[in-house]
Amino acid sequence: MISESPGERAADTGEPFAAAEPSWWRRNRWSVLALAVLLPGTVIVTTSSEWFDYQNRLYSHAVTVPDGESAVYGGAEFRVHDTVLVRGGTEGGDELELDPDMDLIVAVLDVTPGKGSVDSCDLTISATSPGHPEKRAWNANVDLPRKFPPTGDAQTTCSDSQGEPYRLVVAATIPGGAAESKSWVHIEKLGLAPDYLELELSPSAVSSASTSSDMSSSATSAARRDDLRQKSNATASRLMRTGSTSKSITNPMG
């Protein structure tokens, strides 16, 4: 059986009312206070590790730099000097023994070390195409064509270079046509993650050229396949002739 509350019982018995009963909040204030501290604390303790892992994986701090402009990352200044695309199945690709179904993309960067030098880094090239609008990435400077020429004095990873400016070669073999839309060089140093540098490779520069005038005109003719094939051949020939990627690419006048 359910009875009345104690207060009502007091009234029924004719006994004088006791002092007003404290409110529920006042009676349970310590329990509520403990819950207010323990509940958020439990959530924080149980999820903090995953949250930091998520943040470290989340590349939300990209420094994206348009082609031709420079950016400082880890104390060093990076700028894209030139970009070359050699298509497989062309004379130039055959010279390098590039698979006919693949392209070779080579970016040459100017690097000026600063106080906080970047002495090693992970290099990747990413790209999009009409068939793959989502960004895809390939490790740089591995799995290159068998006859990819030596890079001479240019570096293939970040270097402190004793404080002297240097050229950094970033090359990757990618599926044919994978960089038809846009492409980027990513530079990431372990200690600076999740910050990383994203240097845009201009689509006009991707078509490559053997002369400066060709380079400027390529902006309007990059989509023409024959034009690209001719430029790929010329670029590969220069690579083979000089035996130095950096020299051949950084001196477009040949």
Partner 1 sequence: MISGRRVTRRGALSALTVVVALAATVVVYGVTPHGDDINVPFNVRGGIGDVLTGRTLTGAVTSVRLASSIDATAADSDWSGETTGTWVVVDAEIAARFEPSSLYRPTLTIGDTTYYASERLSLVTLDDGTVRPGIASVGVILFEVSDDKLRSAEAAKAEIGINASFESILDSRLVTQVDLTSLPVESDVAVSRPEEKVL
Least CB distance to partner 1 at residue 178 (A): 6
Q: Which amino acid is at 52?
A: F
Binding track, positions 156-175, relative to partner 1; x by CB under 8 A: -----------------xxx
- Nearer Cβ to partner 1 (197/209): 197
- Nearer Cβ to partner 1 (178/249): 178
Q: How far apart are CA 89 and CA 104, in angstroms?
A: 11
Q: Measuring CA to CA, how many Å separate 168 from each of 12, 30, 189?
A: 94, 64, 15
Q: What is the dihedral of CA 232, 248, 98, 88, to 10 degrees?
A: -10
Of the ranges 96-104, 152-160, 191-199, 242-250, which one interacts with partner 1 (CB under 8 A)?
96-104
Q: Which of 79, 81, 132, 182 binds partner 1 (CB under 8 A)?
A: 132
Binding track, positions 134-153, relative to partner 1; x by CB under 8 A: xxxxxx---x----------
The residue ranges that bind partner 1 (CB under 8 A) are 1-5, 99, 101-102, 124, 132, 134-139, 143, 173-176, 178
